[in-house]
Amino acid sequence: MTTPSEISVPYGYCHCGCGNLAPLAKKNSRLRSHVKGEPIRFIPAHINRKTPIIEVAQPFKIDGIYCRLIPLTKGLWTIVDAADYEWLMQWKWYAHYSQNTRCYYVQRMERCLDGKQHTVHMHRMILGLDHNDPSNSDHRNRCGIDNRRKNLRSADDNENAQNVGLRQDNISGVKGITWHKDSKTWLVRVQCNKIRKHVGYFKEFEKARVALIEATKALHGEFANFS
Q: What is the pLDDT of residue 1?
A: 39
Cα 48 to Cα 9: distance, rounded to the nearest angstrom? 15
Q: What is the pLDDT of residue 82?
A: 95
Q: What is the pLDDT of residue 6?
A: 39
User: How far is CA 3 from each of CA 6, 10, 56, 57, 168, rounded to the nearest angstrom?
Assistant: 5, 11, 12, 9, 33
Q: What is the pLDDT of residue 223?
A: 61
pTM of the entire structure?
A: 0.59
Q: Could you report the average pLDDT of every consecutive run of 10 residues in the chain (227 residues)? A: 50 78 88 85 72 79 94 92 93 89 89 76 92 81 93 75 59 74 85 73 84 74 60
- The domains located in the chain, with CATH, are 4-155 (no CATH), 166-223 (3.30.730)
